[in-house]
Amino acid sequence: MKELNQYFDHTCLKADASTAEIKKLCAEAKEYGFYSVCVNGCYVPLAAKELAGSAVKVAAVVGFPLGAMSSEAKAFETNDCCANGAAEIDMVINVGALKEERYEDVLDDICSVVASADEYNAIVKVILETCLLTDEEIVKACELAVSAGAEFVKTSTGFSTGGAETRHVALMRKTVGNLAQVKASGGIRDYQTCLEMIEAGADRIGASASVQIMSEYRSSQYQSER
């Protein structure tokens, strides 16, 4: 297993996020060696500037948090974020289209974002919003994401009726196999929950409590060594 810090997309996506909070997010990401920071599009230039010269990547959300805008808008947003320094794009699917079994629309929606990201060699994580889906819909969404060329499937925005659940992570892992990676996000606030997500198959963890989780992890390591 890779080092715990490298699982984290250190995240701040709240509507009232301030410049100071984004700078703090980036400073923490550098201090702890997190894989990336995940921010809203308006803060991509600032995050890219703050992280310049470090190994920490910038991830940006697209179509967030509802996924209910046009594919053209998502593609434009992806291009804007990548042009400003985002190396990863976390996009929300059109949940309504999926539930209505308009699978071609969902596929085209993801493909539009993947095509824009590919121009910058950026990777795409597809947010399914698992709390709104049946198991069958989760499986179908994962299959569509893989077909569209996305590198990750992701559980949640953290802004809907629920967050990541281990059973959903396990189902997503089983469905995508080695064809894509899995990101667990939403409501992961302690080390034990984080560990359960990784054991269920998560390759990446999205969390705003990354520092707290790392503190708990280091404390547990210290206690085990005594």
Residues carrying an active site annotation: 90, 154, 183
Contact 24, 222 (CB under 8 A): no
Give the C-alpha separation, 108 to 102, whole Å: 10
DSSP-assigned beta bridge partners for residue 131: none
Burial of 74 (0-12, 13-18, 19+ CB in 10 A): buried
Contact 186, 164 (CB under 8 A): yes
The residue to which tokens 């500037």 are assigned: 49
